[in-house]
Structure 1
Amino acid sequence: MNRRTLLGSALIGGAATAASAASAAQSAAPRASGRTGPLNLITDVEGIKIGQAHDAGVRTGVTVILAEKPAVAAVDVRGGGPAGRETDVLKPENLVQEVDAIVLSGGSVYGLASGDGIAAWMGMRGRGYGMGGAPGVPPSPIVPTACLYDLANGGDKKWEMDPPYRRLAVEALEAAGDRFDLGTAGAGYGAEAGALKGGIGSASALMANGWTVGAIVAVNSVGAVVAPNGKTFWAAPFEIGDEFGGLGSAGLAASAEDWGLSKGRARPRENTTLACIATDVALTRVECQRVAIMAQDGMARAIRPSHAPFDGDTLFCLSTGKKEITDPAMRQVAVAQLGNVAADVLARAIARGVYHAANYEGQTGKTWREL
């Protein structure tokens, strides 16, 4: 055996040893503990339903988060290029403290019409905020809306005076229920997560005290959701079971300047991750705001980079008020616990959205499963 053969054998043997060590380290890597709700979806939170609709030709869609009864809400906007409707109404100092629905939509500014469709549908059925108006005057449904940019994904956007978002929103609302699709669906239908196909993700957590926290997210980020040179999700340390592949966290490493599978030519206003956190715990508007602020850290745990000038990252928080915080002295501790759990749940939901995403018809090479 010549020297080159010996060297080659040593390299192959070394690689095999390294691979075995990596596999063993992955198997031995600590896994997150915790319990999900029965569906591992945001609808595990009592009082929340989800409806979704999409248009395959346009490559876009809408997701509606329906509160069965008006829910206390807040919003936290971190991205540099948001597109939203009725987010100012959620400021703690303003009059209306509850919302009827939250809408996440594709379509950028055109997607804002999705909120119009929901408001008209609800108003016609007598749902919304009213102050004893004149007979025949419908109430005013409170429907905060946030949109992501999916206009450059190859779908047919020649809609002229008839963008599909109002129609899609009504279709989504009428389909609302406990179960819904993840991945290439709803507001995530046309989304891209860095260089990979993005989508709708959702997850839930059942806390030790019986409280439930859930998240839903449309992942359309500049940043990457996996570490460079592999397919390990940045959210891996928070994974419960094998909900997004069960690869463990052994592959997590990157320099501060290595964005990995991010969008190579990021441009302003063309990327946004939209999310909603829900809990069954009764919270005030100010407490909801704090949970929303803390939950935004879930984006930073799962996407690298996040909250960039190119993104319009927006996160809503809903409280359905089904369960009370019984110890007033521990109220702020409880809010901190909820916020921390919400951040982890959101990180998991982001990974699940990309994990379940499928290519459009005729497209290849874009999904996490193809890495």
Structure 2
Amino acid sequence: MLRRHFLLASLATMALPARATGTGKPGARNSITDVGGLSIGQAQDTRARTGVTVILPDQSAVCAVDVRGGGPGTRETDALNAWNLVHRVDAVTLSGGSVYGLAAADGVASWLGAQGRGFAMTKRPDIPPSPIVPSAILYDLNDGGDKNWGTEPPYRKLGLEAVQHTSQDVALGTVGAGFGATAGALKGGIGTASFITHDGLTVGAIVACNSLGSVVVPGTKRFWAAPFEIGKEFGGLGPAASLVGEEDWGLAKFNPAPRANTTLACIAVDADLDADEMKRIAMMAQDGLSRAIRPVHSPFDGDTVFALSTAQKTLPSAARSVLVARLGALAADVLARAVARGVYAATLPTGMSSKTWAMLPS
């Protein structure tokens, strides 16, 4: 008992980190590209109703990944484990197309290799480098598009097109990897958001929302992410006042199927963090999906979050863990906002049978 009281007294007198003070705000674009050293490429096949989104750092970047869904489809994610050789990536690819979509990284890797970018133990002109392009896919094969592609799925071509046309401007909604996505019973899509802290650090997120779960409160058109909205970036309706039953999933998909859903995201920060620190941020960022989608991380989703650092800003060696905690918490908020922005901006391709947010009753 005396030992217990001693421990409690010691904990009570420990100096806790000071809370962050001041007010931050979204970046100029409210986009992941507000993080310096980063651009985004997107391409879609409107006939097949599918697409690809590429996150391209200016130079190889430290990256980590966290997978929470029960049915993921990924490429080169094991390479990102901190105990393995390569801790940096040359690009990250998000794609529709289920397993076919993993070929999008082939197009990205071929372009990067032609530019001389990639991992090489020894640089020689006669040996191409090996670009590191971790990837994840979502399932959009049942969205009504023409998927009769035989032995020529479009994803390698789409990956090449996307990486060749990157930009600081990021289109929202029915584009890229989100072209054929559905978020519960609503049209899903690509969303992005950012936040710059009072002390000048930037956190950004991009997401392709194709979730089993619903992004709106049952019986309303108010987003689960509404408490984190800044301004009127996804309608400005505010949080719902209604109570929700524990098993009322609202506009979740009625007939889930394995690997038929999945939300894919990439977090970016400009702080100079290592692989272990970025892993923690990826893990914390997953809570942003929990704040924006209900239910999430189900056996039928393949939810995957990448997190990369462009290392534009050097952090002090002291109190790094506190900074990681701050950035991880912000990453979750930014990702929740990005999910809602993507669904809010989504439109229906001709003939697609989902609803959009705008179709819901007020």
Per the normalisation by structure 1, the TM-score is: 0.90
Q: Which residue of 2 aligns with 1:337?
A: 326
Partner residue, 1:111: 101
2:303 is aligned with 1:310: no
Name the amino acid aligned to 2:189.
G
Cα distance in 2 for residues equivalent to 1:101 and 1:174? 12
- Partner of residue 210, structure 2: 220
Larger C-alpha radius of gyration, 1 or 2?
A: 1
Query: 1:181 maps to which residue?
Result: 171
2:42 aligned partner? 52
Alignment partner for residue 366 of structure 1, among 355, 358, 361?
355
User: Quick one: which of 240, 243, 259 aligns to 2:230?
Assistant: 240
182-191 or 135-144, larger mean C-alpha shift: 135-144
Give 1:342's aligned amino acid.
A
Q: How does 1:120-199 map to 2 (within 5 A)?
A: 120-132=110-122, 134-199=124-189
> Cα gap change, 1:252/1:95 in structure 2, threshold over 3 Å: closer, same or farther?
farther
Counterpart of 2:338 (choices 337, 349, 357) is 349
The CA distance in 1 between the partners of 2:358 and 2:230, in whole Å, is 19
Residue 253 (structure 2) aligns with: 263
Matches within 5 A, 1:28-107: 34-107=24-97
Q: How many residues align?
A: 338
* 1:205 corresponding residue in structure 2: 195
Residue 180 (structure 1) shift = 2.0
> 8 Å contact 2:143–2:352 — kept in the other structure?
no
Check whether the contact 2:43–2:53 (CA below 8 A) recurs between aligned residues.
yes
- SS of 2:91's equivalent in the other structure is strand
Shift of 1:44: 0.3
In the alignment, structure 1 residue 324 sits paired with structure 2 residue 318: no
Which residue in 2 is equivalent to 1:250?
A: 240
Query: Over residues 17-71 of structure 1, what are the superposed CA-to-partner deviations in whole Å (9 max), with x where a residue is unaligned?
Result: xxxxxxxxxxxxxxxx741000000000001100000001000000000011111
Contact 2:185 2:354 in 1 (8 A): no
Quote the Cα distance in structure 2 between the aligned partners of 1:230 and 1:110.
36
Shift of 1:362: 3.8
Distance 2:37 2:135 in 1: 19
Instruction: Indicate how the Cα distance of structure 1 residues 185 and 325 shifts in structure 2: closer, same or farther if over 3 A, else same.
Output: same
* TM-score, length-scaled by structure 2: 0.92
What amino acid maps onto 2:166 in structure 1? A
1:174, CA displacement in angstroms?
1.1
Deviation at 1:361, TM superposition (A): 1.5
Q: The residue matched to 2:290 in structure 1 has which SS?
A: helix
Q: Distance in 2 between matches of 1:251 and 1:222?
A: 24
- Say which SS state the counterpart of residue 147 (structure 2) adopts: coil
What is the RMSD of the two structures over their aligned residues, measured on CA atoms? Answer: 1.1
Cα pair 2:187 2:354 within 8 Å, conserved: no
- Amino acid of the structure 1 residue aligned with 2:150: E
Instruction: Measure how far apart 1:329 and its partner are.
Output: 2.6
Question: Are 1:232 and 1:252, in contact at CA under 8 Å, matched by a contact in 2?
Answer: no
SS at structure 1 position matched to 2:322: helix
Quote the sequence identity (%).
61
Write the letter of the residue equivalent to 2:188. Answer: G
The one-letter amino acid paired with 1:343 is: A
Distance 1:270 1:213 in 2: 30
Aligned-partner SS, 1:221: coil
| Cα pair distance change 1:252/1:121, threshold 3 Å | farther
> Comparing 243-252 with 200-209, which one deviates more in the overlay?
243-252
Q: Distance in 1 between matches of 2:241 and 2:39?
A: 36
User: Match of 2:203, as an amino acid?
Assistant: V
Whether the 8 Å CA contact 2:36–2:312 is kept in 1: the answer is yes
Q: Find 2:284's aligned residue among 288, 294, 299.
A: 294
Q: Secondary structure at the match of 1:187?
A: helix
Whether the 8 Å CA contact 2:217–2:240 is kept in 1: the answer is no
Contact kept in structure 2, 1:234 and 1:252, CA below 8 Å: no
Q: Shift of residue 97 of structure 1? A: 1.3
* Structure 2 SS opposite 1:49: strand
- Point out where structure 1 has 5 or more consecutive residues left out of the alignment: 1-32
- Structure 1 distance, partners of 2:352, 2:263, is 23
Structure 1, 41-50 or 246-255: larger mean CA deviation: 246-255
Where does the alignment leave 5 or more consecutive residues of structure 2 unmatched?
Answer: 1-22
